[in-house]
Chains A and B, each alone.
Chain A
Amino acid sequence: MEHVRPVPDGVPAKGAPSGGDAARLAGLLGKAALGDQAAFAEFYDATSARAYGLALRVVRNPAHAEEVTQEAYLDAWRSSARYDAQRGSAAGWLLTIVHRKAVDRVRSVEASTARDETWNREAAPIDHDQTAEAAHASLDATRVRNAVATLTDVQRQAVELTYFGGYTHTEVAALLDVPLGTAKTRIRDGLIRLRDLMGVAS
């Protein structure tokens, strides 16, 4: 929290945003459920950088990331009527779909290949400055990074290995050489801390 990256004038924050924007996204999904493709296109435009960025971060291969992202949007379109605004934000709902598909993808790809190399890269801390260059500048990204920076090292490692690395908690325990219960706890404690810092309430 020492410094907050300034947002350039005139660039709207695209991250998980104000209540107004969340309501707009939920509304667009509602229209999509009625078959409104233009509304879905708008929903895509507002969320695709996050969806694709997440898919790419997990699967790493751009072609795979595109496939995963496309599948996730098709799923979102198909099941748009089943999105329930009472149970969470529209962006969160979409990103949950994206994440699940991305994780399924890496696990099925790696079912037949070794993943040592992945671990070496994964073990290196994420270079936030470098990520920021490529990533979409937004106020929320800064807020998220600041929140992540307050986690203990072991919490951050556990959260990043699972969410971005796509590893199971059992694999995380083995990778970090800690008991399964410890891995489980670190993931949960890390997320709870982030939840509290970012003021997430369902």
Chain B
Amino acid sequence: MSDLHKLTGAYAVDALDDLERARFEQHLAECDDCRFEVAELRETAALLADSVSIEPPAALRDSVLAGIAQVRPLPPVVTPMRTPATTLRRRLPLLVAAAAVLIVGLGAVVWQPWSEETPTRLTAAEQVLDAPDAQQVFLDLGDTGQATVTRSKAEDRAVIQTEDMTSAPEGKDYELWLLSPDGEFTSAGLMPDGGDQTLVLDGSAADAAAVGITVEPDGGSIQPSSEPIALFDLTQAT
């Protein structure tokens, strides 16, 4: 633990990589001293910007103000919608699993462990999950959680179901991807934080060779900016 405490400085100046950051944020959720110190050191680091300040081009102001005119500010965080934020943070990923990306195809798994736990499953998802030609790939992501991708060629859709999935690191989102047979990634939408979910992927899935998950900057990316933390190989599913 004493080792983790010393990361406050590196964390405050964004000098941790994604995995280290996720691990440290998990520690932060439980360590008041570190949270306090991080706040102070961030404030301190921000003062360094005073020594490099430069007036931006006037056009930037116009762009910013034109931009905000089109966006509604988010509401304040009132009551947590799922689990209390601290609990979520406590369950933040030891994304260590990412180090070794597992590519596993388990073939046809006749197994729907979530059918009782998620009575409010979306109809669109049910259509895929119950399709006669549904194919499933299950991946155990270690401390990050577990996920199953189900694809129906007839429905042309894929569904991901997660279990005990930890939240993406602060300022990051999980993004889902459909990988074409020639290796092109197409975004299939963001995966909201939340331990157990059932989500229909955006886009046509009939020809997809695989489904991937990456950790992307908040709001997602047009193309993956990092190696997938999980890759579900659909060519091996039957």
Instruction: Mark A residues whose CB is within 8 Å of B.
Output: 14-16, 32-35, 37, 40-41, 44-45, 48-54, 56-57, 65-66, 69-70, 73-75, 77-82, 87-89, 91-92, 95-96, 98-101, 103-104, 108, 111, 128, 131, 134-136, 138, 140-141, 143-145, 148, 159, 162-164, 166-170, 172, 181, 183-185, 187-192, 194-195, 198, 200-202
Contact = CB atoms under 8 A, between A and B. Distances in A.
Contacts of A135: 51-54
B171 A100 contact: yes
Nearest to A198: B47
Interface string B29-49: 000000010011111111111
A38 to B, nearest CB: 9
B61 A48 contact: yes
Nearest to A185: B6
Contacts of A200: 40, 43-44, 47
Interface of B: 3, 6-10, 12-17, 20, 36, 39-57, 60-61, 63-65, 67-69, 71-77, 171, 217-218, 225-226
Contacts of A148: 48, 51
Contacts of B77: 82
27 contacts: A44-B61, A44-B65, A49-B54, A53-B52, A53-B54, A54-B48, A54-B53, A56-B54, A65-B56, A70-B63, A73-B64, A78-B71, A81-B74, A82-B77, A88-B39, A89-B43, A92-B46, A95-B45, A103-B14, A136-B55, A140-B50, A144-B50, A162-B13, A194-B44, A198-B44, A200-B43, A202-B40
Interface of chain A, helix or strand or loop or mixed?
A: helix
B23 to A, nearest CB: 13
Contacts of B171: 100
* Nearest 7 A/B pairs, CB to CB: A188-B9, A52-B56, A95-B46, A53-B53, A15-B50, A53-B54, A92-B46
